[in-house]
Amino acid sequence: MKIKSKFKFKGVVTCKLYDLEGNLIEKKVYNNLVVNAFLFAHANLVADPASSFTGTINYGAVGTNNASPTITDTQLGTELARVVVDDVSVINNIASINFYFDPSTGNGNLKEFGAFVDGSASLNSGVLFDRVNIDIAKTSLNSLIIQLDVTVS
């Protein structure tokens, strides 16, 4: 008898732009693409308990490249800034991961977002989990919260 199961990751990104007083200016929701780099590294983790890959998303980054995401992406097109995870919650099979970009971080015409596993503060570090095109104009008069909701099924 053959048993076959599928393990899927689906991501939804919500961008909330605030003014300096904390008033919500804009909210946009995007479906994102979980890329092969993460899936391959995750498969290696399952097969090799000595793997250094943790599987934990620890950084989120924004960039200015508006090229469409592809399954083979390994980093953002033009990474501008990254921040460490601000807050995490898990309810059943959905993990919500928040990234906070303060008024001095990630300013510009933001066209892409990606979350990274085992990243560092250095641009283009870590294993890319997902990539999505966004459209946010952020200045030093704004803060930005990006929420990544990951459904595992």
Q: What confidence tens digit (pLDDT) does each residue in 75-87 have?
A: 999 999 999 999 9
State the chain's mean pLDDT as an integer: 90
Strand order from edge to edge, sheet including 108-117: 24-31, 9-19, 142-152, 94-101, 79-91, 57-63, 108-117, 127-138, 33-34
pLDDT for 103-130, tens place per residue? 999 999 999 999 999 999 999 999 898 9
**What pLDDT does residue 52 have?**
74
Predicted confidence band at 5 (pLDDT cuts at 50, 70, 90)?
low
Q: Are the C-beta atoms of 140 and 13 separated by less than 8 Å?
A: no
Give the pTM.
Answer: 0.89
46, two tokens = 């399952």
